[in-house]
Amino acid sequence: MSFCNDVKKVSQSDDPRRLLHRGSCAFSTVFKLFNEGTFVTRLFLTAALYQPVMQLLMEDEWFYDIDPERALHRFPQAEILRRFGTPGSKEYDLATKQYREQITNKLVSLVEQFIASLQVCDCVLKFGFCS
């Protein structure tokens, strides 16, 4: 029996739990394999991304938006005046430009940390350093 036929049977059944519980249909077998694989995947991602996520959470004074201009809209008006000066002034333009550059650089750094962490964890798995 094909996988597509099994999915159709399960979706049209009055008691899909009974069909899946038997474990004999292809859909049930594929779902079981997927479910067992998700634990391993979850474990890998937890190990690989722990450090970068913690780093991101510790940096709470920055607003990480893909568009750094949006981050400026998240500050209250008093904070904008304190950090950047009066809107429209040269001081404001310079400070916001620097802020945008800092956000962009920090985003690049964070993405590099995420990638490096995934690569390290993948190497550990490939070379069998963990069991």
Q: Which residue has the higher pLDDT, 13 or 58?
A: 58
User: Would you say residue 131 has pLDDT above 50?
Assistant: no
User: Would you say residue 1 has pLDDT above 50?
Assistant: no
pLDDT in tens, 85-122: 998 899 999 998 998 888 888 888 888 888 888 887 76
Query: Which residues have a Cβ under 8 Å from the Cβ of 16 and sit 6 or more positions away?
Result: 10
Confidence band of 10 (pLDDT split at 50, 70, 90): low
Positive or negative: CA dihedral 43, 45, 48, 53: negative
Burial environment of residue 19 by CB neighbours within 10 A (0 to 12, 13 to 18, 19 or more) = middle
Q: Among 121, 124, 127, 130, which Cα is nearest to 52's?
A: 121
